[in-house]
Amino acid sequence: MASQNLKRSAQLAVAGALAVGAFAATAAPASADPITIPGVGTFDIPGVSASQIPFIPGVTDNIPGVNSAGPAAPVAPITSSLGERAVQAAQTKLGAPYVYGAAGPDAFDCSGLVQWAYKQAGLNLPRTSYDQAAAGVPVAQSDLRVGDVISFYGGSHSGIYAGNGNVIHASTAGQPVKLAPVSSMPYDGARRF
């Protein structure tokens, strides 16, 4: 009974669309193609061919085979973590000169670069490498993530983990801000913000 009601409803919907002129009133051959509505059935509607049935957005969007493109998939916003944004900021300063006590925007010492990069990302960090080594959450070297602040030389030097075993840091006088392997300096610890 329910199947017959669905079929009758589909026939009435097609007939109603014809009556209100939802598609062109063209003469159809007497032997029109049957119309198949997935999940409902196949119908012979005199004077109407399947090619005359219009695509009705919102009604046929989810019927398999009717609209093969389907509805657009939702797009997730592109977001990055605080640490990733800090690394992106620090990367813009690769090659900038090292100046003891400088905190940017044109020259840096080690902790000045870390503080400046995180400020660009939206977080104020302590100014000195020792204070940076004591702030945040401790992270094991095996669990480093992009943006973690790494301390070297007993906490007297800091840099930002850039991924792939590398750190961005302002090393010393005569050396610009650069990317270097974490293993190139004596590792002391890391903090996550």
Is 8 within 8 Å of 1 (Cβ atoms)? no
Residue 60 CA, chain-centre distance (Å), reads 30
Q: Report the C-alpha gap between 159 and 125 in whole angstroms.
A: 13
Residues marked as catalytic: 110, 157, 169
Helix, strand, coil percent values for the chain (each to nearest 5): 30, 20, 50
Distance CA 42, CA 54 (A): 16
Placement of tokens 């109407």 in the chain: 48
Q: What is the DSSP string of 16-43?
A: HHHHTTSS---PPPSSPPPEEETTTEEE
- Report yes or no: 193 and 118 within 8 Å, Cβ to Cβ: yes
Rounded to whole angstroms, the Cα distance separating 178 from 130 reads: 21
